[in-house]
Structure 1
Amino acid sequence: MAHPSQLGFQDAASPVMEELLHFHDHALMIVFLISTFVLYVILAMISTKLTNKYILDSQEIEIIWTILPGMILVLIALPSLRILYLMDEINDPHLTIKAMGHQWYWSYEYTDYENLGFDSYMVPTPDLTPGGFRLLEADHRMVVPMESPIRVLVSAEDVLHSWAVPALGMKMDAVPGRLNQAAFIASRPGMYYGQCSEICGANHSFMPIVVEAVPMQYFEDWSSLLLQDL
């Protein structure tokens, strides 16, 4: 999860998020090089003869500053389109979960099981256990098996919401009357925190998301116990 004074992204917990981190570093380096070059040109124009009218009106200069930005856009667009394709590709998911946004909580339904579903509310601050995270803990976590393709169907009951878990590279709008889908693979066990990322009302900041990735055997035991309780 995020921590105070953090500048970068959270540690990647899925292959898609790893790709997003690499793309971020790639684009940031391009921005850094452009900024350095522009600053150098500005300083050079102030302190040297680069302000000569024959240089500023040069046809070669105009060709360069027309072609170079186009090449830079291609360098950014190609990896971006590749990641967009990876994020939209959903092949043979092992598990499908329907996440429904409400004012102001989430409900989850495991569509591959009969009658396996629950509501997930934020744990109030007075009820937090030692080590719990304020505004991020939920009374029921969305438990998923690690290293398995998971499809999430996202919708809303009332107003716009957004199901987002940064460490998994997930952010999908929950629109009433519309069923959106996304997929992820949790590459390591752990708990990954998120929140509704759409301003959905007065208690917008009180509907956290907690995804717990566990080995397959633990997931099967958890689902069996939950079905017995239900």
Structure 2
Amino acid sequence: MQLKTMLTGLTATVLAAPALAQDLEVVGKPVDGAMGFQPAATSLATQLQGLDNLLLVIITIISLFVIGLIAYVMVRHNRRANPNPASFTHNTPIEIIWTLAPIAILIVIGAFSLPVLFNQQEIPEGDITIKVTGYQWYWGYEYVGEEELAFESYMIGSPATGGENRMSADVEAQLVEAGYSKDEFLLATDTAIVVPVNKTIVMRITGADVIHSWTIPAFGVKQDAVPGRTAELWFTPEREGIYFGQCSELCGIAHAYMPITVKVVSQAAYEAWFEANKGGADYVDVSAFLTN
């Protein structure tokens, strides 16, 4: 099916306007041995990473201060240096300081963290709205308010795509055919969400059976998909490329095998992709519409 859809997309592109297809850069994915965050591809992710860096500085200062106090007490008030211990029971100035100082620290943290939280939770009007439904163990997507465009997304190598949740020669061939590398097994899906760069995307998220969680680390977004409820998140991708995520709520035996793929492309490529896929046609990958 993947080969058929790719050929269909390539044919449509040639008929519409001669162009050469090119691969999207893989921007957001986990890297073995790496530390820190994935590259921030939205303002939300940039704010979250900045907040994390600020908190790291604050907790480092606090930790060094406490370690210094402990070291001072060990040296200044050990039995050898201070054979006659003091007999006082309290010290009012110190008690005022250790009460007010944590309050001041929390106010500083709140002053920086609450705007980030509000920015996440205040959902703007979206240029594109997509309904996301979590299933055991795959994702369903429906572009809301557009002409009919809905599809399901399975991990390449899952039983639904002819695999057994493990790497094999057949699965590797599927990955290569879809434009992925062997290293992207467990991350790549047979279909992908496609959105245009620099547009506001609103995701309406729910679950069909148990609780799932839709997450793209490079976008700085995560939202539980709860059966019977609909929650929303938003993002505005600032860089074209391929971004991977995973279900982040333990949802059953195949929880590890329901990844998420988002492809951010130009407005022209998005529109061509949408036209090729609307109306329930066989899924055509957006790579067929990328041009040099």
2:119 is equivalent to residue 95 of structure 1 = no
Shift of 1:114: 2.0
Q: 2:68: which partner in 1?
A: 40
Instruction: Please report the TM-score for the alignment, with normalisation by the length of structure 1.
Output: 0.95
User: 2:278 aligns to what SS in structure 1?
Assistant: helix
Most deviating of 124-133 and 169-178: 124-133
- Gaps spanning 5+ residues in structure 1: where? none
Q: Which structure shows the bigger proportion of residues in strand conformation?
A: 1
Q: Give the match for residue 28 of structure 1.
A: 56
Question: TM-score, normalization: structure 2?
Answer: 0.75
DSSP-derived class of the 1:92 partner? coil
CA deviations on 1:40-69 (whole Å, 9 max, x unpaired) are: 000001112597637883211111111101
- Equivalent AA in structure 1 for residue 110 of structure 2: A
1:53/1:191 CA distance change after superposition, 3 Å: farther
Match runs of 1:199-210 below 5 Å = 199-210=250-261
Residues 135-165 of structure 1: CA distance to partner in whole angstroms, max 9, x if unpaired?
0000000000110100000001111100011
Deviations, residues 151-192 of structure 1 (Å, cap 9, x unaligned): 000001111100011100110010111111110000110111
Whole-angstrom distance in 1 between the partners of 2:67 and 2:280 = 65
Q: Which has the larger radius of gyration?
A: 2
How far apart are the structure 2 equivalents of 1:203 and 1:49? 57
Whether 1:119 and 2:152 are equivalent positions in the alignment is yes
Instruction: Please list, as runs of the form range in 1=range in 2, the aligned pairs for 1:55-70 lying within 5 A after superposition.
Output: 57-70=90-103
What SS is found at the alignment partner of 1:128? helix
Structure 2 counterpart of 1:17, one-letter code = A
Query: Counterpart of 1:2?
Result: 30
Is 2:124–2:234's contact at 8 Å kept on the other side of the alignment?
no
What's the counterpart of residue 19 of structure 1? 47
Residue 22 of structure 2 corresponds to none
* Equivalent of residue 104 in structure 2, options 71, 74, 80: 71
Bigger mean CA offset, 124-133 vs 103-112? 124-133
- Residue identity over aligned pairs, in percent, reads 38
Q: Note the alpha carbon deviations across 1:48-99, whole angstroms, 9 max, x for none.
A: 2597637883211111111101111111111111001100122221000001
Q: 1:116–1:226: 8 Å Cα contact kept in structure 2?
A: yes
Q: CA RMSD in A?
A: 1.7
8 Å contact kept, 2:187–2:261 = yes
Q: Which amino acid aligns with 1:44?
A: Y
Would you say the 8 A contact 1:193–1:210 is kept in 2?
A: yes
State whether residues 55 and 61 of structure 1, in contact with CA within 8 Å, keep that contact through their aligned partners in structure 2: no
User: Aligned partners of 1:216, 1:120: CA distance in 2, in Å?
Assistant: 22
Q: Distance in 1 between matches of 2:142 and 2:266?
A: 20
Structure with the larger RCO, 1 or 2 (CA within 8 Å, 6+ apart)? 2
Residues 58 and 97 of structure 1: CA distance in aligned 2, closer, same or farther (over 3 Å): same
